[in-house]
Amino acid sequence: MNFMLVHGAHMGGWSWKKVAEILTQHNHTVYTPTLTGLGERQHLMVSTLNLNTHIDDIANVIRFSDLDDIILVGHSYAGVVIAGVNEIYTKKIRKLIFLDSFMPQSGKSILECLPESYQENWHLACQNYGHGWIFRKGNNAFERWGAHDKNIQVQYLDKICDFSMHFLTTPIHLSKKFAEAEKIYIRCTKPSDAKNIMQSAYETAVKQGWKIHEIDADHIAPITAPEKVAELLLKLQ
């Protein structure tokens, strides 16, 4: 079985390390690519990058690694990324798993799907601190994600990075391939600002009849609750 684990905003493939180790121990092949401009590739961040760059990142791993029978997992921001990848390689993907992620809506960007208050605040933050397009990671990121463990914050603060608003303002266009794909939504239940943001995505998944699962964890469960994430992924394969 091939697991492709795609990380969320401000992170990199490193955020899946512990989950990948567990899945590998169960004899699965696991890929944890880092999206362009993030993680160890943050030196490549330029204003011309957008959501389509990240869709191409994952599609190219599939293409050049000759992958088939893939369980494609997208955490947070990456829910929209994996939906775009499914448009390219539908027949190679067994199922799409959305881990506490945004819900892709055809013709819309992530930002357009958020309440106006968030749109205004995020744009203002970029204008004031990020040259109009950079969304700074902020020292309070872990608190917003619901990860209050100080040891976690100290261990990983230097690994999270800035993010481009262009990733959030690029519309995605989906066909019937998305409607026909097997889709699973995993909700992280511990309270956080991120949980509030993802609430509408969760409600949409329920309304559309997706398979729903929950994890007693904060928004960055791949880091703070890797055993729980891996255990559920093994059940869902």
Reported as a single tens digit per residue, the pLDDT across 19-72 is 999 999 999 999 999 999 999 999 999 999 999 999 999 999 999 999 999 999
Helix (H) or strand (E) holding 29: strand 29-31
pLDDT score of 128: 85
Per-residue pLDDT band at 117 (split at 50, 70, 90):
confident
Range from 35-39, 108-112, 118-122, 172-176 carrying the lowest mean pLDDT: 118-122
Q: Are β-strands 163-164 and 134-135 bridged in parallel, bridged antiparallel, or unpaired?
A: antiparallel
- 34: domain range? 2-236
* Residue 183: its H or E element: strand 183-188
CATH number reported for the structural domain that contains residue 57 in this entry = 3.40.50.1820
Q: Are 183 and 210 in contact (CB under 8 A)?
A: yes
Do 107 and 173 contact (CB within 8 A), yes or no? yes
User: 211 - beta bridge partners?
Assistant: 184
104 or 122: which leads in pLDDT: 104
| Beta bridge partner(s), residue 15 | none
Percent of the chain exceeding pLDDT 90 equals 89
Name the nearest CA neighbour of 16 among 187, 231, 220: 220
Residues 64-105 have pLDDT tens digits of 999 999 999 999 999 999 999 999 999 999 999 999 999 999
Quick one: pLDDT band at residue 122, thresholds 50, 70, 90? confident
Residue 35's closest CA among 17, 60, 18?
Answer: 60
Q: Is the dihedral of CA 223, 229, 231, 233 positive or negative?
A: negative
Q: What does the block give as tokens for 227?
A: 């055993």
Instruction: Return the C-alpha torsion angle 136, 185, 17, 215, nearest 10.
Output: 100
pLDDT class of 203 with cuts at 50, 70, 90: very high
Unique residue bearing structure tokens 């329920």: 206
Please give the tally of structural domains in the chain.
1
Residue 70 bridge partners (DSSP): 2, 93
pTM over 0.85: yes
Cα separation of the two ends of the chain: 8
